[in-house]
Amino acid sequence: MPLCEIYPDARLFSKALSFANDLKISFYDALIVAAAVLAECDILWTEDLQHGRRVGDLVIRNLF
């Protein structure tokens, strides 16, 4: 899969604000989720979010 670059812009911040409110997560975690969604990632590996949670087509996985 080719690398995808996501830059901070109004679309990213708007999506992050929406995710923070809808998912009840911190804004900074929501920025990470929003960037992964905009990059069309399938899996987001993190230790800070709930394992198995889905955000659209994105699946959150926790290594621990």
Q: Which residue range is the domain that position 30 belongs to?
A: 10-61
Q: Report the pLDDT averaged over residues 4-19.
A: 94
What's residue 1's pLDDT?
56
Residue 47 lies in a domain: yes
3-state secondary structure at position 30: helix
pLDDT exceeds cutoff 60 at 63: yes
5 in a domain, yes or no?
no
pLDDT band at 3 (very low <50, low <70, confident <90, very high): confident
Instruction: Report the pLDDT averaged over residues 26-39.
Output: 97
Residue 3 maps to a domain: no
pTM of the model: 0.90
Assess if residue 25 is contained within a domain: yes
What b/e string do you get for 37-47 counting C-beta neighbours within 10 Å, with b at 16 or more?
bbeebeebebe
Domain count, the chain: 1
Task: Tell whether 4 is covered by a domain.
Answer: no
Answer yes or no: is 19 within a domain: yes
When pLDDT is averaged across residues 2-6 and rounded to a whole number, the result is: 79
Residue 1 lies in a domain: no
